[in-house]
Amino acid sequence: MKQAGAVRSILRLEALLVALGAVLMYRHCGQNWGVFALYFLLPDLALLSYLIGPRIGALAYNLTHSYLGAVSFLMIGFWCHTSHVFAAGLIWCAHIGFDRALGYGLKYATGFHDTHLGRIGKLTPL
C-alpha cells in the first residue's frame, strides 16, 4: 500500500503545480483579481447536489471538477480570442488543482468520501 501513497502524493503535487500555473497565467494575462476571488469557489456549488443523493452528487461534482470543462474553456477562449472565457478556464483550472492538491479527487457514487485519490476524511483501517 506504500506505493499507492507515493502515486497519490505525485498526483497531489501535480495538481498543486496546475493550480499555481493557472494563477500565474491569470496574473500574466492581467485579469481582475476580484473576478478571480468571486468565481474561484463557484464549482463547489455542485456539492449541493449531494442533497439529492450520492449518485447525483458525484455526477455533478465530477462534471464541475474535471479538467474537461476547464480546458475546453481555455481552448475556446484562446481560439476565439475571448479573454473572459480564457480567464474563466484559468480560474476553473486553479480551483480543480487546488482541490486535488488538498486530496479532493473525483467522486465515486458510493459517497462523497470515496475519491480517485483515495478516501478522504477519517482514516479507515486497511
- pTM above 0.85? yes
- Angle between helix 67-79 and 83-101 (nearest 10): 160
Question: Could you tell me if residue 41 is inside a domain?
Answer: yes
Domain count, the chain: 1
**Using one digit for the tens of pLDDT, what is the confidence trace for 104-125?**
999 999 988 888 887 886 554 4
Question: Could you tell me if residue 123 is inside a domain?
Answer: no
CB 79 within 8 A of CB 29: no
CB 22 within 8 A of CB 90: yes
Question: Could you tell me if residue 125 is inside a domain?
Answer: no
Domain residues for the domain of 30 are 2-116
Question: Could you tell me if residue 121 is inside a domain?
Answer: no
Question: Could you tell me if residue 126 is inside a domain?
Answer: no
**Using one digit for the tens of pLDDT, what is the confidence trace for 24-50?**
999 999 999 999 999 999 999 999 999
